[in-house]
């Protein structure tokens, strides 16, 4: 590789997140507690090497909730740079699932109305994730640090 190509390379961490809806106006919330990303969010996690993004979403939801989702719908990308790593979250939405809801070491999971969820102490960046999940046109959000807070640029 030439010097120009080397400058374009970056470390990337792929993750996922899924808004699961029950058809009765509720979404599945996760009160994340075990790491630096805390607050109310949606189930999700890291993509393993060699794993399809789609399959990683199904696996992560099952690990964190006990539910098996079917046909998750791709909603867009949410990403940011931190400590020299480009973090990329693929966002999905699902309406079909089976299994018994069960919390995990990631935190408590429960059904809640979307309006009630918005009133909770949300995990960092969830306001942008919600904006993307509810929009039919917004497919990407890049978040950057400005002074003492993060600001998202949606498109």
Domains identified in the chain and CATH numbers:
3-154 (3.90.79.10)
pLDDT along the chain (155 residues), means of 10: 70 98 97 83 96 96 98 96 95 98 95 97 94 96 87 91
User: What pLDDT is recorded for position 8?
Assistant: 81
Nearest to 63 by CA among 109, 124, 104, 110: 104
Q: What is the model's pTM?
A: 0.92
User: What pLDDT is recorded for position 77?
Assistant: 98
User: What pLDDT is recorded for position 38?
Assistant: 84
């Amino acid at each position: 590789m030439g010097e120009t190509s080397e400058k374009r390379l970056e470390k990337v961490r792929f993750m996922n997140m899924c808004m699961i809806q029950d058809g009765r106006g509720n979404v599945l919330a996760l009160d994340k507690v075990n790491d630096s990303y805390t607050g109310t969010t949606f189930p999700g996690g890291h993509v393993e090497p060699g794993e399809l993004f789609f399959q990683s979403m199904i696996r992560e939801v099952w690990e964190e909730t006990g539910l098996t989702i079917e046909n998750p719908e791709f909603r867009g990308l949410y990403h940011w740079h931190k400590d020299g790593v480009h973090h990329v979250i693929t966002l999905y939405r699902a309406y079909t699932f089976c299994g018994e809801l069960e919390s995990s070491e990631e935190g408590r999971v429960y059904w809640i109305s979307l309006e009630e969820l918005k009133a909770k102490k949300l995990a960092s960046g969830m306001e942008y994730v919600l904006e993307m999940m509810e929009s039919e046109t917004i497919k990407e959000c890049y978040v950057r640090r400005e002074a003492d807070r993060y600001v998202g640029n949606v498109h």
